[in-house]
Amino acid sequence: MTDPESVSFYSDGHRLDALLYQGDAVAPSPAIVFCPGSRVTKQTPYYHVYIPRLVAAGLTVLLIDYRGWGASEGTPGELYPQEQIADIRSAVTYLQTRSEVDAGRIGVFGVSFGGALGVEAAARDERIRALVTVLSPMDGRQMLRGSRREYEWVEFLGELAADRRRRALTGSGESTEHFSPPTPERSRTTALSQDAIPPIPLACLEAIAEFRPLDVVDRIAPRAVLFIAATLDPTCPVEHSRLAYEAAGSPKRLIEIDSEEHYGTYVKHMDLILNEATAWFDRHLTATGPRTVEQ
């Protein structure tokens, strides 16, 4: 694999920064958009361990920074799901302009919240022929609720309501340091970049609470979706992937990894995740549409 090419493209007028990785595959090759998780950038350490394996499997990989993150334009710290979905779809459009890429064989590989974004992007955009989601939430409200004790949840709903009134009366709202109360694993993990994370606006958390890819996952079929989950994931519980799998049409597959970690699963079970993902893309991006029906 050669060194990545620094590239940029636009989404809703914002210049987005990305890295394009290519191997020795004969052009035009299938390609995937690599979608980062929440509140991280393309510099997340383990992403750069995953990508050589994906490239070795014959894929061109576009690793993106959403608007407002990394070197992309936008307001730092903002995370509006619908805007990031637009960024993914713009990334697909950019890939279709590259002569090295087969425009009819584009997929998405999404980790954590990036997988949730990928589900809704694929539900809307038939150009996405195959999708892999890894340890991803499928119900924003339930994800936010599940990480809080009852009194914390009630307080959180009050904060959102107060900020909604504040924005209506003053035109601006407040931010918070945490997406959800930090888990012990997140505080000690080495899988993530140690760079400071900007505060997240409460308006973004309200938008996340209204984001429910579970409602649209059935629209992906007959394009292919693979769900990979960890059985005791404290951050994105396995039930999210189970419910999405049940709602999805064929071809689909659910892999459950016996693990009690979220970030650690990405590192410790990397071989399993990549073996399943590359096999899925090999099966469903080798033609302009899925060749097999499986459940």
Task: For 234-290, write each residue's pLDDT tens digit.
Answer: 999 999 999 999 999 999 999 999 999 998 999 999 999 999 999 999 999 975 443
Count of CB atoms within 10 A of residue 196's CB? 5
User: Which CATH number does the domain housing residue 77 bear?
Assistant: 3.40.50.1820
Other C-beta atoms lying within 10 Å of the C-beta of residue 18: 25
Answer yes or no: is 292 within a domain.
no
- Is residue 289, in this structure, part of any structural domain at all? no
The pLDDT, as a whole number, for residue 27 is 76
Ranges of residues in the chain with a pLDDT under 50 are 288-295
Please tell me the predicted confidence (pLDDT) of residue 192.
65
Rounded CA-CA distance 102/97 in Å is 9
Q: Using CA atoms, how far apart are residues 174 and 182, in angstroms rounded to an integer?
A: 19
Q: How many domains does the chain have?
A: 1
pLDDT for 189: 63
Distance from C-alpha of 216 to C-alpha of 199, rounded to nearest angstrom = 29
Phi, psi of 16 (to 5 degrees): -105, 140
> Where in the sequence is the domain holding 232, given as residue range(s)?
5-284
SS3 label, residue 177: coil
Radius of gyration (Cα) for the chain, nearest Å? 18
Would 293 be classed as within a structural domain? no
What pLDDT shows up at residue 291?
Answer: 41
